[in-house]
């Protein structure tokens, strides 16, 4: 279901620095206990930013922002490690990279994994095919050690491509690392984050920050989140389906008037899509409400805000957030319509709202990014 406009986030290896300030006076827990709210709060918000409990670690992956269109970085696979740029994609569940057995043009533009150069590689003899909106990847499955954010994940199953869709030749990343639920993958294929949690390496949530325009600063944190990346409180949105990171949107409004998603709609929060995507008719109404898909660059500051109403919270996008500027094509909105598809809250949305993906409690946390 993911379409041709889909681009993904990718990350590079680094350690996470931890600073825990000393509390003076009553702690947050003591104040909540006085009000009788601690039990409810601790169940709903189980997070401990950057702390290390027992054997739990925090994996911090820095990402490179490629012109606000894609976010990419580096992981390693094998012994000794072979490095790859991957797209960290909350809209899929497989990890795969090109292999030396691939002769597609896309593979020739990227790093290729060589199983014979890794002493820890195991071949499953199982074939693999992944369909994307822009074409497919075919190959086979194997096991090896994967290093992500400074965390070693042994015995991780992953795909090795033998053919790749032509669109992969035009992106910086070599492959994709999926961060959606295991239910999207084939039987016996356990996503990387599942393995991290089940092996007791990290706690069962991760967070994503996407920088605006700046090439540096973007990151994904496995088992933690960074309060320096957001302001105000976190809104916790329950998932409506544990496949994609799927939530219910109540409506989309402009100047207080509902212009799309009139009776509520389903949306996925997807780091692997660069735009905000929705059903063609809804996106047409939304673009018309703000002046069209192509807009005058000089009018951006006069264009209206767009509000996504979700679970009793208003998530506002200013025109400066949803309009992109190109030296070749001028200015256009970041909204794209595709059939009767689910809504996809892609990078245009996530850049404005720091996102915590809680797989343990099946929530998405959203807070205003800074």
The two domains 11-222 and 228-369 share their CATH topology (first three levels equal): yes
Q: What is the pLDDT of residue 135?
A: 80
Average pLDDT value over all residues in the chain: 87
Mean pLDDT of 291-316: 97
Cβ atoms of residues 60 and 219 within 8 Å: yes
Q: At residue 17, does pLDDT exceed 50?
A: no
Q: What percent of the chain has pLDDT over 70?
A: 85
When pLDDT is cut at 50, 70 and 90, the band that residue 369 belongs to is very high
Query: How are strands ordered across the β-sheet holding 294-295?
Result: 294-295, 330-333, 323-326
Domains in the chain: boundaries: 11-222, 228-369
Choosing from 89, 174, 282, 347, which is the catalytic residue?
89
Q: What is the pLDDT of residue 29?
A: 46
89 is catalytic: yes
Distance, CA of 248 to CA of 109 (rounded, Å): 39
CATH code for 11-222? 2.40.70.10
Mean pLDDT of 334-350: 95
Q: What is the pLDDT of residue 55?
A: 65
Q: At residue 289, does pLDDT exceed 60?
A: yes
Q: What is the pLDDT of residue 304?
A: 98
Q: What is the pLDDT of residue 171?
A: 87
Local structure of residue 289 (DSSP, 8 states): H
More confident residue, 52 or 340: 340
Q: At residue 280, does pLDDT exceed 90?
A: yes
CB atoms within 10 A of CB 287: 20
Q: At residue 6, does pLDDT exceed 60?
A: no
Long-range contacts of the stretch 102-107 (C-beta < 8 A, 24+): 102/139, 102/161, 102/162, 102/163, 102/164, 103/163, 104/161, 104/163, 104/164, 104/166, 104/168, 104/169, 105/166, 105/169, 106/164, 106/165, 106/166, 106/167, 106/168, 106/169, 107/161, 107/164
270 is catalytic: yes
pLDDT digits (tens, 9 = 90+) for 46-73: 444 444 445 689 999 999 998 888 898 8
pLDDT digits (tens, 9 = 90+) for 99-158: 999 999 999 999 999 999 999 999 999 999 998 777 889 999 999 999 999 999 999 999
CATH code for 228-369? 2.40.70.10
Q: What is the pLDDT of residue 170?
A: 87
pLDDT digits (tens, 9 = 90+) for 156-212: 999 999 999 998 898 899 999 999 999 999 888 999 999 999 999 999 999 999 998
Q: At residue 19, does pLDDT exceed 50?
A: no
Q: At residue 34, does pLDDT exceed 80?
A: no
Q: What percent of the chain has pLDDT over 90?
A: 74
Instruction: Find the length of the chain.
Output: 370
Q: At residue 42, does pLDDT exceed 80?
A: no
Helices (H), 96-213: 105-108, 192-198
More confident residue, 337 or 53: 337
Report the DSSP beta bridge partners of residue 359.
none
Among 44-58, 215-229, 250-264, 353-367, where is mean pLDDT lowest?
44-58
When pLDDT is cut at 50, 70 and 90, the band that residue 5 belongs to is very low
Q: What is the pLDDT of residue 343?
A: 98
Choosing from 174, 270, 282, 347, which is the catalytic residue?
270
Distance, CA of 193 to CA of 198 (rounded, Å): 9
When pLDDT is cut at 50, 70 and 90, the band that residue 35 belongs to is low
């Amino acid at each position: 279901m993911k379409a041709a406009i889909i681009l993904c986030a990718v990350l590079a290896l680094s350690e996470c620095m931890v600073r825990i300030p000393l509390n003076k006076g009553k702690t947050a827990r003591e104040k909540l206990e006085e009000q009788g709210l601690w039990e409810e709060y601790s169940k709903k918000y189980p997070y401990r930013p950057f702390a290390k409990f027992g054997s739990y670690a925090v994996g911090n992956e820095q990402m490179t922002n490629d012109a606000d269109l894609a976010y990419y970085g580096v992981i390693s696979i094998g012994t000794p490690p072979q490095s790859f740029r991957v797209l960290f994609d909350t809209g899929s569940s497989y990890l795969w990279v090109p292999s030396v057995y691939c002769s597609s043009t896309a593979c020739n533009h990227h790093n290729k994994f060589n199983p014979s150069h890794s002493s820890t590689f195991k071949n499953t003899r199982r074939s693999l095919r992944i369909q994307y909106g822009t074409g497919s990847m075919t190959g086979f499955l194997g096991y090896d050690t994967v290093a992500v954010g400074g965390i070693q994940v042994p015995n991780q199953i992953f795909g090795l491509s033998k053919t790749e869709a032509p669109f992969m030749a035009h992106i910086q990343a070599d492959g994709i690392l999926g961060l959606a639920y295991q239910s999207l993958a084939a039987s016996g294929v356990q996503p990387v984050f599942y393995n991290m949690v089940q092996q007791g390496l990290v706690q069962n949530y991760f967070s994503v920050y996407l920088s605006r325009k700046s090439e540096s600063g973007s990151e994904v944190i496995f088992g933690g989140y960074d309060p320096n990346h957001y302001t105000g409180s976190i809104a916790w949105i329950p998932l409506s389906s544990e496949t994609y990171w799927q939530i219910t949107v109540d409506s989309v409004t402009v100047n207080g008037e509902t212009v799309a998603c009139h009776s509520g709609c389903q949306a996925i929060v997807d780091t692997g899509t660069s735009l905000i995507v929705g059903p063609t008719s809804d996106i047409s109404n939304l673009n018309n409400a703000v002046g069209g898909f192509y807009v005058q660059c000089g009018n951006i500051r006069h264009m209206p805000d767009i509000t996504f109403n979700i679970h009793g919270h208003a998530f506002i996008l200013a025109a400066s957030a949803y309009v992109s500027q190109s030296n070749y094509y001028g200015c256009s909105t970041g909204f794209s319509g595709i059939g009767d598809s689910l809504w996809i809250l892609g990078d245009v949305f996530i850049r404005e709202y720091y996102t915590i993906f809680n797989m343990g409690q099946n929530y998405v946390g959203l807070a205003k990014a800074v």
